[in-house]
Structure 1
Amino acid sequence: MGSPPAAGPHQGGQGSPGVEGAGSVVPTVDLGTLHEFHGIQPVLPVTDAARAARYFRDVLGFEIDFIAGEPPSYARVKKGDRTYGDPVYIRLWQCGRRDAQPWRGEIVIHVGRDVDGLHAAYVKRGVNVIEPPTSQPWGLREFAIREPDGHILRFCGYL
């Protein structure tokens, strides 16, 4: 490979953040702290936190990490361990309004390998698959499902 581009005005934390030209390297800014980022935990609004957690466990194969509140109003499910990086965590927040404005977006979950096997297992469990496994030009094989509260989960692995 070639040499990296010459230092620009935003390298080394100098100057204001901006968009560099196509193909250039934009370094991260050193905040002078010892923090580390370890994944994200999206929060999905659901109509029933306990029911949603059971769906993720019983149908999608996640583990219920916790269900909180009396009556339950917040839950977190988990899949995976630290063998291949951080586990996937999804938080389920009970908002209880079916007439609320629907959330528009999706969560992409990297599963490493055997995307087709996971798809087949979910089909056997009656999961609402909205896109079948497809090899994408960006190097991933992926499929998408819609869970009972309407959220889209896209499962993918490298080709």
Structure 2
Amino acid sequence: MHAQGLTPILNVSDIVASFVWFEALGWKKKWDWGDPPTFGAVGSGVCEIFLCQGAQGGRGNGGVKSTFGPEGDVTADKGVWMSIWVDDVDAIHQHCLNQALDVAWPPTDMPWGVREMHLRHPDGHVFRISRGIGGH
């Protein structure tokens, strides 16, 4: 197999609210389908994510404040976890705080060679926003 691309599909409870959430993150709504829409896409650079209202996968905000750490629970959120690779984790973190988005783990230099933060979508999808450090 030689994959030409990969587009995750997130199950969301409210596609319109999800478009607004992604726009607050700095992504753009690319298209929607249906009347009213139940399927669509958001994008940033060459990356795209499909959103499907009420189907195609699981979701569920676990209700915990943190994903990692002594108070955290990596199993609580039932949505998709995915990594987004960026140039400046700290700038994204500040942007997320300014937009009042749910930061579930602050920027931290992790032992596996990345600086990462976690951002939680209202439906329990967790984005590991990362950049390599120390030659990784």
Task: Give the TM-score category using the shorter length.
Answer: 0.7 to 0.9
Letter in 2 for 1:78: G
SS, match of residue 130 in structure 2: strand
Work out which of the residue numbers 64, 82, 94 in structure 2 matches 1:107: 82
Distance between the aligned counterparts of 2:21 and 2:128, measured in 1? 16
Contact 1:74 1:94 in 2 (8 A): yes
Could you tell me which runs of 5 or more consecutive residues in structure 2 were left unpaired when the two chains were aligned. Answer: 61-77
Work out which of the residue numbers 134, 138, 144 in structure 1 matches 2:112: 138
Equivalent residue, structure 2, for 1:26: none
Deviations 1:9-68 (A, max 9, x none): xxxxxxxxxxxxxxxxxxxxxx6xxxx4244211110111122112101x1000111111
Equivalent residue, structure 1, for 2:38: 73
Instruction: Answer yes or no: is 1:155 the counterpart of 2:114.
Output: no
Distance between the aligned counterparts of 1:54 and 1:124, measured in 2? 15
Runs (4+) of structure 1 moved beyond 4 Å?
none
- Give the structure-1-normalised TM-score: 0.66
Could you tell me which runs of 5 or more consecutive residues in structure 1 were left unpaired when the two chains were aligned. Answer: 1-30, 81-86
Equivalent residue, structure 2, for 1:15: none
SS, match of residue 21 in structure 2: helix
Instruction: Answer yes or no: is 1:46 the counterpart of 2:12.
Output: yes
Work out which of the residue numbers 92, 99, 107 in structure 2 matches 1:125: 99
Letter in 1 for 2:91: G
The structure that has the greater radius of gyration is: 1
Letter in 1 for 2:6: I
| Larger RCO of the pair (alpha carbons < 8 Å, separation 6+) | 2
User: What is the identity percentage for the equivalent residue pairs of Structure 1 and Structure 2?
Assistant: 32
Contact 2:106 2:117 in 1 (8 A): yes
Letter in 2 for 1:150: G
Cα displacement (A) at 1:141: 0.5
